[in-house]
Amino acid sequence: MNYRTTCSHCASVFRLGADQLEAAQGWVQCSVCGAAFDAHLSLLMADGSPLPVIEPEPVKLPPAQETMPPPEATGYEATAESQRETESETEWADAEIDDEGARATPQGIVQRESPLDLPSIILIDPDASESDDPGPLPHIQAPAYPSNPYGPSYNYQPAPSAPPSVSPTTRVEYANLLGGTARIPETQHRTQTWIWIVSSLLLLAILLAQATYFLRDTLVSQLPQTRPAFEQACATLGCTLSLPKNLTLLKIVGSDLQTEASGRLKLALTLGNRANHVQAWPVLILTLTDQRNRPLARRSFAPSEYLGEAQRIAAGIPARSEQALNLPLNVRNLAPMGFDLKLTY
């Protein structure tokens, strides 16, 4: 036989079997809110109808007990018989009150917004082993008995309580004899911090000095205003400093490939320096082409080949100047119709 029961906390409706109800002794746990409640208080049939009311059978007393007590009964027996009749009447009155309360209770189930096909409820096993922890022990206060005026009197005085302990004003520290972490003094900690800072700054300065020494030519080319400082440093350290090399500030103003009377070729060009400082002489890359602008020959010319003067090469191209150059060419079995000229370092 199947029943329905309603959770007394969240009004959830569950289906419950007779065997489950009997196994759990009526106590179940709601699978929605987790509260435990007695299923007997809201138990209905599976279709929602109330349980059939089973009326108790009236207890019929024997004819001898319904009549008045026998005359032979003593006063004590009559008193006991009257007490039993009073208890019987009290029990019947309680039963009638319970039946009236059950009839006054509204029948039916409380519907929820969610469907009734909810998961099974959780049964509470009455045979489950209890925890070994008995919980807090109850505090039992001894009752106060009245004093006996006829007994001996005792003058009881409680023992004097110990004076409150006074915390010592002197702080005692014990040495760590077990090899634990020792406390570092504040002065020593600050000293170690400053040592690390000074060492880091010193290593950074050495790294910057090395980078400046090996990249001095590049730095002078990018920052020409630093050249006097680098020249003084190189004079002290015995190093050399090359001239700045910036192709963006060099320009071929004019160039012409001429043929001499002897049949030799001569390249005439004008090289201009647009920088405000002296720059190194570049390398010339000459490419001879034919009528269809296809390369016939290519060659690079160093400053020593088109200048020939060591002092002029070391002095570099003066700032804001144009230099005329002539480069004789010895070409055999070639008839160039054009040329291409580029600068590089």
**SS3 per-residue string spanning the chain:** CEEEEECCCCCCEEEEEHHHHHHCCCEEECCCCCCEEEHHHHCEECCCCCCCCCCCCCCCCCHHHHCCCCCCCCHHHHHHHHHHHHHHHHHHHHHHHHHHHHHHCCCCCCCCCCCCCCCCCEECCCCCCCCCCCCCCCCCCCCCCCCCCCCCCCCCCCCCCCCCCCCCCCCCCCCCCCCCCCCCCHHHHHHHHHHHHHHHHHHHHHHHHHHHHHCHHHHHHHCHHHHHHHHHHHHHHCCCCCCCCCHHHEEEEEEEEEECCCCCEEEEEEEEECCCCCECCCEEEEEEECCCCCEEEEEEECHHHHCCCHHHHHHCECCCEEEEEEEEECCCCCCCCEEEEEEEC
Could you tell me which residue, 334 or 211, shows the higher pLDDT?
Answer: 211
What confidence score (pLDDT) does residue 63 get? Answer: 57
Q: Does residue 3 contact residue 16 with C-beta atoms inside 8 Å? A: yes
- Residue 323: pLDDT over 50: yes
What confidence score (pLDDT) does residue 126 get? Answer: 52
Sorting pLDDT into bands at 50, 70 and 90, what band is 244?
confident
Q: Please, what is the average pLDDT of the chain?
A: 74
% of the chain beyond a pLDDT of 90: 22
Sorting pLDDT into bands at 50, 70 and 90, what band is 127?
low
Mean pLDDT of 84-93: 56
What confidence score (pLDDT) does residue 220 get? Answer: 84
Mean pLDDT of 257-273: 86
What confidence score (pLDDT) does residue 113 get? Answer: 47
Sorting pLDDT into bands at 50, 70 and 90, what band is 195?
very high
- Residue 331: pLDDT over 90: no
- Least-confidence region, from 88-97, 209-218, 273-282, 332-341: 88-97
Mean pLDDT of 271-300: 92
Mean pLDDT of 126-155: 58
Q: Report CA 100 to chain centroid distance, whole Å.
A: 64
- Residue 178: pLDDT over 90: no
What confidence score (pLDDT) does residue 60 get? Answer: 63
Mean pLDDT of 121-137: 56
What confidence score (pLDDT) does residue 128 get? Answer: 53
% of the chain beyond a pLDDT of 70: 61
- Residue 198: pLDDT over 90: yes
What confidence score (pLDDT) does residue 90 get? Answer: 53
Could you tell me which residue, 177 or 137, shows the higher pLDDT?
Answer: 137
**Strands 250-259 and 338-344, sheet pairing:** unpaired
Mean pLDDT of 261-268: 82
What confidence score (pLDDT) does residue 66 get? Answer: 46
Mean pLDDT of 272-293: 92
Does this model's pTM top 0.85? My answer is: no
- Residue 79: pLDDT over 60: no
Sorting pLDDT into bands at 50, 70 and 90, what band is 29?
confident
Instruction: Say which residues have a Cβ less than 8 Å from residue 343's Cβ, sequence separation at least 6.
Output: 247, 250, 252, 271, 282, 283, 284, 285
What confidence score (pLDDT) does residue 272 get? Answer: 95
Mean pLDDT of 282-302: 92
What confidence score (pLDDT) does residue 196 get? Answer: 93
Sorting pLDDT into bands at 50, 70 and 90, what band is 177?
very low
What confidence score (pLDDT) does residue 15 get? Answer: 83
